[in-house]
Structure 1
Amino acid sequence: MTRFDEVTDALALPRLVRLTDNLVAASFTLMKLVPARHILRTAAARGDIGPGTVVVETTSGTFGLALAMQTALMCRDLVLVSDPVVDAALRRRLVDLGARVEIVAEPDPVGGIQGARLRRLAEVREEYPDTFCPEQYSNPENPRSYAVVAEHLTRSLGQVDCVIGPVGSGGSMCGTVRALRESTPHTAAVGVDTHGSVLFGQPDRPRGLRGVGNSLVPANLDHAVFDEVHWCDAAAAYAATRALHRDHALFQGPTSGAAYLAARWWADRNPEAQCVVMLPDEGYRYQDTVFDDAWLSARELLEPMPAGPVDVDAPASAADGWNRFAWGRRTLADATEEDRVAVR
């Protein structure tokens, strides 16, 4: 048995579960613990977090939970700026861990709700004489923290030929794949996004699937890492989440379902490749939504899992449903320029 000094150490690395002959699930209890604990511990070691420092951040998801867990263990105050999509169960847990949660209700004309949250974050920092912001979207320690995940995969599985996972801040996919490519440059990266997210060149619009995608392009997202990008809508992601539970008894959230949707398809078509799918968090927050047939039916989201994606020749051509684009390790500027050429 392994003894851990803190619960965040015990929960940080994923369980590796073989789903098929060539597809392994990296199943996290809470993936955001990887960057949260690394960023806070690194900052404390550098002297950026002292006894009276207040940690502040903007998040509507599990990065906030990871910060709340680590700051509670470090005995530091935490202020989180979020928006109305943060679910009630998560908010209760954040408050119980000692966090102050600020809710921003109205989006900014430019930057949307994410821009409004960043503006409020700056205002909160003015309230305290000493603050530290982890800045998950731009802090290079975010992707750098995932070197331990890459080491865990290599030590346990040997060569990894492809990593498939959801993209939000860019940290997990970019950090894990870059670390793997130090020894296996051929390792493919398949990013999973959702419609209405600007991350890979789609126009910003309301997103039905939360926990993946963004209204702003974060600095930590290195587009040149990715070989393929898949976009899927909420119905497809929810169906895949339920299939992952039904077929493999893995009880994960809908971002995990979105990743599984693309991973199963990619692994089937590349039987000689050793594939890993990143499953970011567990499904307990979604028992009354994604795992409730009545809730899905009332929103016309109870649909079968689609058989495969529709290939598109440009990001802007991706429509509702499940789409796939051969990104080809290009920058966003290069990919969107080819997008404009294709439209012309």
Structure 2
Amino acid sequence: MDQHASDAIGRPDLIDLGGGLVCLRFETLKVVSALAAVRRLIETGTVRPGDTVIDSSSGVYAHALALACHRYGLRCHIVGSTTVDPTLRAQLDILGVRLEQMASTDDLRLDQNRRVRRVREIIAAHPDYHWMRQYHDPVHYLGYREVAETLRREVSGDLTLVCGVGTGVSSGALGTYLREGDPDTRMVGVQPFGSVTFASDGVPDRDIIIAGIGSAIPFGNVDHALYDTVHWTGFDAALSGTVDLLRRHAVFAGLSSGAAYLAARWERAHDPARTVVFVAADTGHRYTDSVFARHREATAVEDLKPLDIADTAELRLPWARMEWRRAGPPRQARFDRSA
């Protein structure tokens, strides 16, 4: 029996979709990461019950950290993105989180920079607060080891992991731990257009930058040399994948999950000897109006295919794919740890 709701919320489901395609479905992806990180900080004496931890979040990590703080008796302060919706705001409020939400903006770079700047201001005023640094502190890798071990037990054969990149933690940790048992595990990262992480920042998406899988600033937890292949998906392609995932497989998941599903279908079709596991990071509830209500706009996924490119200068909407070949970061994604 679980001792706290975070155990149930954080535990992923493995769903065999058939044809060598497996969905690793989370209710909220980052719960396992936040729980393990907070537990380690308490074990090492870095924080104690009653202390305050703080971080910036576009939504999913805010919920995860709130649950971890509730479980371990910490106070939680979140500087939130404009994408934090009313449902999440209400949950955070009831869980005792202090939320500062940034004013609305269409500029993701401005939103992320403002949030980080505000966190630094708060830390300067409250040096006793602990900054979780989900973007840069590798302590967030720890929670995914058990998930990787479950994958290895439950899924046979040569694996390809398809996952939104985001902060680099979930895909990086799962790929790292899976490769401890099988160095030939392939890693496929999924990115939106407009993200600096894999150099698509020069190709803005007029509809949306998919929250959670891209970035306007460099992230220290992204290890570019882990990734064999990268897919960039625009909003329209991701919407089509998200709708098809629900219609074909009854999996109600978010927009980044639809993007990962689309990439996973392509990778499986072009390398049928491998089992492809893709990560569905969250449920579809916050996309009811922006995605699912527009399901009639979806293109049949069979009619979509990525533009195969050899250089990021060739990136084009609505969907592109490149063999990254475990190369290092592009110039704009290099993270300065001394800063």
Distance 1:24 1:78, change over 3 A: same
- Aligned positions of 1:326-337 closer than 5 A: 326-333=323-330
| 1:218–1:334 distance in 2 versus 1, CA, 3 Å | closer
Matches within 5 A, 1:76-95: 76-95=74-93
State the percentage of identical aligned residues. Answer: 34
How far off its partner does 1:226 sit? 0.5
Q: Which residue of 2 aligns with 1:39?
A: 37
How far residue 13 of structure 1 moved from its aligned partner, in angstroms, is 2.8
| TM alignment of 1:52-131, pairs within 5 A | 52-105=50-103, 112-131=110-129
Q: CA RMSD in A?
A: 2.2
CA distance change for structure 1 residues 335 and 96 in 2, over 3 Å: closer, same or farther? closer
- Kept after mapping to 1: 8 A contact 2:163/2:279: yes
Distance, in Å, in 2 between the alignment partners of 1:198 and 1:140 is 20
Distance in 2, Cα, partners of 1:58 & 1:198: 18
Task: Give me the whole-angstrom Cα distance separating, in 2, the residues matched to 1:77 and 1:185.
Answer: 40
Give the deviation of 1:239 after TM superposition: 1.2
Question: Which residue is equivalent to 2:283?
Answer: 282
Secondary structure in 1 aligned to 2:181? Answer: coil
Counterparts of 1:264 and 1:97, CA distance in 2? 38
Amino acid at match of 1:235: D
The one-letter code matched in structure 2 to 1:199 is: T
| Greater shift in the superposed pair: 139-148 or 193-202 | 139-148
| Contact 2:191-2:232 at 8 Å conserved across structures | yes
Rate the CA distance shift 1:52–1:204 in 2: closer, same or farther, 3 A: farther
Instruction: Give 2:145's match in structure 1, choosing from 141, 144, 147.
Output: 147
Q: Matched residues in 1 for 2:104 and 2:283: separation? A: 29
Find the residue that maps to 1:331 and give its secondary structure.
Answer: coil
Cα distance in 2 between the residues matched to 1:206 and 1:67: 30
How far the C-alpha of 1:206 sits from its partner, in A, is: 5.5
| 1:139-177 per-position Cα deviation (integer Å, ceiling 9, x unaligned) | 111223311111010111134421001110000111101
1:96/1:43 CA distance change after superposition, 3 Å: same
Q: Name whichever of 48-57 and 302-311 sits farther off.
A: 302-311
Letter of the structure 2 residue corresponding to residue 169 of structure 1: T
Deviation, structure 1 residue 14: 1.4
AA at the equivalent of 1:250: V
After TM superposition, the structure 1 = structure 2 runs for residues 1-344 of structure 1, keeping only pairs within 5 Å, are 3-105=1-103, 112-203=110-201, 208=208, 209-293=210-294, 302-305=298-301, 306-333=303-330
Report deviation, 1:280: 0.6
Contact map agreement 2:160 2:188 (CA 8 A) in 1: yes
* Structure 1 segments unaligned to the other structure (5+ residues): 337-344
Task: Give the superposition deviation at 1:51.
Answer: 3.0
Between 109-118 and 302-311, report the one with greater CA deviation. Answer: 109-118
How many residues were matched structurally? 328
AA in 2 matched with 1:279: A
| Preserved contact between residue 30 and residue 64 of structure 2 (Cα < 8 Å) | yes
Letter in 2 for 1:210: A
Distance (Å, rounded) in 2 between the aligned partners of 1:205 and 1:260: 22
Amino acid at match of 1:126: A
Return the offset for 1:129: 4.9
CA drift of 1:93 comes to 1.8
Work out the CA distance in 2 between the residues paired with 1:151 and 1:195.
Answer: 32
Change (3 A) 1:106 1:31: closer
Judge conservation of contact 1:159–1:184 (CA < 8 Å) in 2.
no
User: Using the alignment, how far apart are the partners of 1:77 and 1:281 within structure 2?
Assistant: 24
**Moved segments of 4+, more than 6 Å:** none
